[in-house]
Amino acid sequence: MVFKRRKRLPIARKIREGLLPEKGWSRAAEYMMARIKRLPDSPKNISFGVAIGVFVSFSPFFGVHVLLAFLIARSLRVNILAAVLGTFMGNPITFPIIAAVNFGVGDLFINVSTEEVSSKSFLQQLVDVSYAFSENVGMMMRGKSADFSTVLEFFYGIFLPYLVGGLILGVAVGVMSYFIMLPMIVTYKARKVRKKLKRNK
């Protein structure tokens, strides 16, 4: 495995490193780039995998980005690890920016009234609507009437614009990342081959 740690980190340490890398996000980005370049696959498969991970990071399906990237990459038979690493595009620093831009673009295609937009963040509303949904399901199971108005308001007012904006931007940024990564990986692998040939002479 590329860049495998000698000692396995505890779960709590892994979570902390994921949210706030000890050596900073710029260092973490360099580490991810190094891992991507050294993946044992063709430059096209690796670049396509990264593009999938980037695309998925623009989706509103928080918590399952890695799973989605894995499934899409596997179905398209491109580099799975590259797709997983590509989801690094979505992190605690970029998520607020991605959410704001996604919603702004989605609002251009889906008219959202100001009354439907809450002052709470997308993640806060997602937690609230998840709780409301579970509560209503519980009421239905107990034979009581349920009110899914909060869920519907969130879906049409927040989730749908975010999803539409995420699809548009995800495709655009994903394609850009493919054409950025491809020459970088080709150059790296070509340089690596040249060095190997020189050593064998």
The 10s digit of each residue's pLDDT in 54-81 is: 999 999 888 889 999 999 999 999 999 9
Give this prediction's pTM: 0.72
What pLDDT score was predicted for residue 193?
77
Matching residue, tokens 């490193």: 17
- Report which of 41, 42, 43, 31 is spatially closest to residue 91, judged by C-alpha positions: 31
- The Cα–Cα gap between 82 and 78 comes to 8
Q: At what angle do helices 160-200 and 25-37 cross, to 10 degrees?
A: 60
Q: Which residue has the higher pLDDT, 197 or 79?
A: 79
Q: Which residue has the higher pLDDT, 55 or 146?
A: 55
